[in-house]
Homo-oligomer: A and B are copies of this chain.
């Protein structure tokens, strides 16, 4: 198993499928020129361009790659899992678009480029977020409709729940509401577990579920995802503290300016580094049940720390 080659293969598959999504075809249109009424069954401009713009900005595609890798822990193909991987990336992208809105974090830069609302306007950015959320479900449900996979429906439900009002949106709510308040341990745990953690746990549990995993394997995969997600968010917080815009793809230092309840804000920088390293180590341990097949995911966990060590 060559890590870079494997990651590259998953990444290429995800990028090709996102760029090739039948509903998103065509070059981006940033103009306000209005053509004839759009054809039924297509996404009208500028909605299509706005959705495509944010979805195709270069990214690590960590969530879909994780989902494919999780599925591959038990299955021999990965094509079956691709629509769910795409759905997850669409959900992630919708959350970034809404997160960046002026009424939310009011960010100007994302993945190194102007945020959606700066390019397409705030109204279209709201709709592009809603649209990607919908396209995620449309894509996953369409795949689930194909006969043959008993686990497709529970997989979609798992992703919906993790992304939902007890998951990512719950974390996002506290992240927004607690800006500028006194850092509190219980709250930062909650925010990191849900805002980032749930959407990095989902690819593991969903990928395994789709492959027909038993309870023990689902739980082991879920633990890996949650620990990895937590480590990943702490590293992100540390990078925001110290990083430059080139690495981050967004403006650094904003967490502190905004009084965001980050891990370093509660525990300090040194303890945060230690916590991230410990979480990565625990994430890898959780994979024991999968033996050698989990080599890629172990290496992936290690890579999380590289950015801050």
Q: Which residues of A contact B (CB under 8 A)?
A: 23, 32, 34, 36-38, 40-44, 46-48, 51, 94, 98, 101-104, 117, 121-127, 129-131, 133-135, 137-138, 141-142, 144-145, 153-154, 156-157, 160-161, 163-166, 169-170, 172-174, 176-178, 181, 184, 186-187, 189-190, 193
Tell me if B153 and A134 are in contact (CB < 8 A): no
Give the residues in chain B near A157, CB-CB below 8 Å.
138, 141-142, 144-145
Residues of B within 8 A of A36 (CB): 186
- Which single member of B98, B137, B166, B186 contacts A126 (CB below 8 Å)? B98
Could you list 6 further interchain pairs (A-B, Cβ under 8 angstroms) beyond the known A34-B181, A137-B164? A23-B165, A40-B193, A46-B177, A94-B130, A103-B121, A144-B153
* Contact A127-B181, Cβ < 8 Å, known A153-B141, A163-B134, A166-B42: no
Say whether A44 contacts B173, CB under 8 Å.
Answer: yes
Which residues of chain B come closer than 8 Å to A37, judged between CB atoms?
Answer: 174, 184, 186-187, 189-190
Contact A176 B104 (CB under 8 A): no
Q: List chain B residues, Cβ under 8 A from A172.
A: 127
Residues of B within 8 A of A145 (CB): 153-154, 157
B131 touches A164 (CB 8 A): yes
- Report how many copies the assembly holds: 2
**Chain B residues closer than 8 Å to A187, beta-carbon distance:** 37
- Whether A47 contacts B142 by the Cβ 8 Å rule is no
Which 4 pairs of residues, A with B, have the shortest CB-CB distance? A103-B122, A134-B164, A37-B186, A141-B157
Check if B141 sits within 8 Å of A156, measured CB to CB.
Answer: yes
Selected from B32, B153, B164, the residue in CB contact (under 8 A) with A135 is B164
Query: Closest approach, in angstroms, between the C-beta of A56 and any C-beta of chain B?
Result: 16
Contacts of A51 in B (CB 8 A): 165
Q: How far is the CA of A302 from the CA of B71 in the complex (A)?
A: 53
- Chain B residues, Cβ within 8 Å of A43: 165-166, 170
Contacts of A127 in B (CB 8 A): 98, 169, 172-173, 176
Asked if B134 and A169 sit within 8 Å, CB to CB, the answer is yes
Whether A126 contacts B103 in the complex (CB less than 8 A), given A131-B165, A166-B40, comes out as: yes
Q: Taking CB as reference atom, which chain B residue is nearest A170? A: B44
Q: Knowing A43-B166, A145-B153, A178-B34, say if A138 contacts B160 (CB, 8 Å).
A: yes
Q: How far is the CA of A133 from the CA of B132 in the complex (A)?
A: 12
B-chain residues with CB within 8 Å of residue A101 when the two chains form the complex = 103, 126
Contact B38 A177, beta carbon cutoff 8 Å: no
